[in-house]
Amino acid sequence: MTPLFWKALLRHPLRHPWQLSLAILGIALGVAVVVAVDLANASARRSFDLAMERISGAATHRIVGGSEGVPETLYVQLRVEQGLRPAAPVITGYLPNADRPGQLLQILGVDPFAEGSFREAAADLTNGNFDLGALLLNADAALLPESLGAQVTLKRGEQRFPLQSVGTLRGPELDGLVIVDLATAQHLLGLPGRLSHIDLILPDSSVSEGRAAILRSELPPDLQLEQPDERNQAMANLSASFSLNLTAMSLLALVVGMFLIYNAISFSVVQRRALLGMLRALGVSRRELLIGILGEALLLGLAGTLLGELLGLWLGSGLVNLVTRTINDLYYVLSIRAFFVDPGSLAKGATLGVLATLAAAWLPACEAADAPPGAVLSRAYLESRWRASLPRFLLVGLALLGAGGLVLLFSHSLVTGFIGLFLLILGCALLTPPLVVSLVRLSQPLTTRLGLLARMANRDVVRHLSRTGIAVAALMVAFSATVGVGVMVDSFREGVAIWINDLLNADLYIAPPGIEDSRGRSEAVTAEALAVLRSEPGVVAVSTYRGNRVDLDGRPVILIAADLASASQAGYRLVNGDADSAWRAFQTGEAVLISEPLAYRRQITVGDALELPTDQGPHTFPIAGVFLDYGSEHGRILLHRSGYARYWCDPTIGSVAVFAAPGENLAVLRERLQNRLSATQPLIFRSNRDIQRRTLDIFDRTFTITNVLRLLAILVAMVGVLSALMALQLERVREFAVLRTTGMTAGEIGGLVSLQTGFMGAAAGLLAIPTGLLLAAVLIFVINRRAFGWSLPFEANPLLLLETLALAICAALLAGLYPIWRMTRARPAEALRTE
């Protein structure tokens, strides 16, 4: 192929910078969203790995505890009597930084003398990187990361703990970490006599396996020997569903981007039909033409991808905060919030961008290459082919919808759920051109009455179907994505609001101040305080709760030991099981009620049994009921206090719900209780409203990132409207010039253009609504269920739908402005001469 050929081909995009840059922007935005989400996910994962690595260090095994952690006496016994080494005692936990609201610091309490082979940071005894003496002696001594400087104040409940730096932790992997002596850690985290775990290094050999087996058999029943790598892996997987959802949403942006690329390339092919025909006539082979157009697309794709990567880096550094915040709220604490640029993410984005461009360019390129040389790739030829293939679009579209439906019906995994979802989207996109034609036909009676301009505008859409069809389909996909996600989030929020309102039906909730310990438990309500509450005449009923975390398949499932007043029982909505018999069985303390996500994940229901690791060793509880719950995607288990007291050595109560007597003034009751209790124990009083508001705040925070992605999809859609419609109108300069010379005014031309783009916007918006609702239904009933096990209501807010329609029309009208401006300024004679 000669350079001349390339020059001829590439001259066109360079002469149409608007078109060129909008096409590049389309690719760039698609790639940027994918790269940003992937970078954010990878960063969060890397932060997690680093945070785990710095805790586990070189340990190959660890002894972990039951509900109380590991008693320190076990460590002493292993080390002194059995000479087990290397072994290191560890206390970990998280405390908020009082100086920087929102920052959680990871506390690592170690015995520097035992650290040697485990972790470097606190192991250097004599080289003087830190003041070992001070670290051991002073209750306020700590090794602090560079970013915290010389001191920091930690908070636990109302208590404040100022710490002074006696050594600096350097490097990003130690950010957000506070290393203290074991004694200090016990004091800070309120765990006297306890360890979080005991680290061991058992070299990888048969001898050590034997040793591990012996150790395992000698441990008390509530302690286990586990491998931290496996544990960390399991923990990292906790957020896998969340990450997958984000990735899928980012791919949606890329799909929209692909439509835009297809639109841009096919448009540029059509525009050059004369040139391409001429080239064919001059002897350029079909293959060469194909390569030429694909090559051009590749250049476009590369430029767009490069820009997309840069945009993605910028966007990703912002998204990572949202991702880590959500992970912090829902899964596990990430004390590192660094933005790590994973080359893998960039490579993935680049590959996707280039491949998507080539895939999108393939059809138009084939089309151009297939056209008979002499006949020139005429518009009429193309349009007639398009119209002829409408039934095919219809058929393939319906087939894809059917396939998508079948995949959704007959598969169970999350990934196949997403595949089904994408099939449905694709099917809807293919149905769009035939539907646009039908819409035009439908609106004909209306436009006939509106006059010549409207009729022209209307029929033009069908006449240019090769481009309008694709443009409308792209816009439809983009807007339907925003509708689908919007409806899903609204439904979810509605479900959570109803759930929390039902569940928290007591008047006051009372708990000690302070954050949860490493097992997810708060401090205990004293027996005296409880007695005061029960004896208060204004109180008719009291429910008590104790939250405790148990480990089921590596997931932190919350066990709630409760003594429920009947009103509290009514707050639980059973989705499975007869309420009467369920609560009767519950009262015995030998049966449990489990939350829906847990039931879904384990595929268990009423009548099945669940084995729980109790303080007396594993025990199997029959399941009496399954309740609706959005409290934890890992699951929650409700067990009566009496049963909890039998199987766990934890007689304490974490919080109390109080039902006021009818007619009791709540504010007065609250004050009276506060006065009476102030002498016994400092307690925090919350109304059900407070807790509901806090729950929804967390919900909204969680979905911030979803909304950001939704906004990005809207942005991509807007760019799509602009580029598609603007190009379409600019191409018709000559046509409009003819109309001008035949007497049409500039204003009328403007009206024509606006009507046409407005119609396309409206078509896209209208079609996006049913597609979006379908998408929402899949997200709600398939994706969310498979990812988290929730069952959600379906709540479509009409305002959201109208908003989408309005947005689509506005974007379309906006897209017409520049072409109108140009056409009204251009002199018709000049425009006529351009060809």
Q: How far is the CB of 139 from another protein (least distance, A)?
A: 5
Query: Which residue's CB is nearer to another protein, number 8 or number 189?
Result: 189
> Is residue 809 within 8 Å of residue 763, measured between CB atoms?
no
Query: Which residue's CB is nearer to another protein, number 116 or number 554?
Result: 116
Q: How far is the CB of 90 from another protein (least distance, A)?
A: 12
Query: Which residue's CB is nearer to another protein, number 194 or number 464?
Result: 194
Q: List C-alpha distances in Å: 361 to 59, 108, 274, 365, 432.
A: 53, 55, 19, 6, 20
Q: How far is the CB of 132 from another protein (least distance, A)?
A: 7
Query: Which residue's CB is nearer to another protein, number 63 or number 132?
Result: 132
**Cα separation of 475 and 138, whole Å?**
65
Query: Which residue's CB is nearer to another protein, number 79 or number 387?
Result: 79
CB atoms within 10 A of CB 230: 10
Q: How far is the CB of 79 from another protein (least distance, A)?
A: 5
> Is residue 481 within 8 Å of residue 777, measured between CB atoms?
no
**Cα separation of 571 and 589, whole Å?**
19
Query: Which residue's CB is nearer to another protein, number 72 or number 633?
Result: 72
| Residue indicated by tokens 């087996």 | 213
| Residues binding another protein (CB under 8 A) | 72-73, 76, 79-83, 85, 111, 113-114, 125-126, 128, 132-133, 136-139, 181-184, 186-187, 192-193
Helix (H) / strand (E) element for 226: namely strand 224-226
Query: Which residue's CB is nearer to another protein, number 73 or number 616?
Result: 73
Q: How far is the CB of 571 from another protein (least distance, A)?
A: 41
Q: How far is the CB of 57 from another protein (least distance, A)?
A: 18
> Is residue 524 within 8 Å of residue 654, measured between CB atoms?
yes
Query: Which residue's CB is nearer to another protein, number 182 or number 428?
Result: 182
Query: Which residue's CB is nearer to another protein, number 214 or number 450?
Result: 214
Length of the chain (residues): 835
**Cα separation of 188 and 168, whole Å?**
20
Q: How far is the CB of 677 from another protein (least distance, A)?
A: 28
> Is residue 197 within 8 Å of residue 70, measured between CB atoms?
yes
Query: Which residue's CB is nearer to another protein, number 119 or number 555?
Result: 119
**Cα separation of 495 and 501, whole Å?**
10
CA gyration radius for the chain? 33
Q: Among candidates 132, 237, 217, which has minimal Cα distance to 181? A: 132
Q: How far is the CB of 74 from another protein (least distance, A)?
A: 11
In sequence order, the β-bridge partners of residue 657 are 509, 543
E strand segments, 426-491: none
> Is residue 367 within 8 Å of residue 265, measured between CB atoms?
no
Query: Which residue's CB is nearer to another protein, number 184 or number 345?
Result: 184
DSSP 8-state code for residue 69: B
- What token pair was written down for 646? 């039998």
State the DSSP string of 270-317.
Answer: HHTHHHHHHHHHTT--HHHHHHHHHHHHHHHHHHHHHHHHHHHHHHHH
Q: How far is the CB of 184 from another protein (least distance, A)?
A: 7
Dmax (CA) of the chain = 105
- The helix, strand and coil proportions of the chain, stated in percent and rounded to the nearest 5, come to 65, 15, 20
Residues 6+ apart with CB under 8 A from 197: 62, 63, 64, 65, 69, 70, 90
Query: Which residue's CB is nearer to another protein, number 73 or number 448?
Result: 73
Q: What angle do CA 597, 601, 603 make, to 5 degrees?
A: 110
Q: How far is the CB of 583 from another protein (least distance, A)?
A: 44
**Cα separation of 488 and 586, whole Å?**
34
The interaxial angle of helices 666-678 and 527-535, nearest 10 deg, is 140
Query: Which residue's CB is nearer to another protein, number 39 or number 215?
Result: 215
**Cα separation of 730 and 816, whole Å?**
9
Q: How far is the CB of 131 from another protein (least distance, A)?
A: 9
Q: How far is the CB of 183 from another protein (least distance, A)?
A: 4
Q: How far is the CB of 84 from another protein (least distance, A)?
A: 9
Residue 190 has φ and ψ, to the nearest 5°, of 65, 45
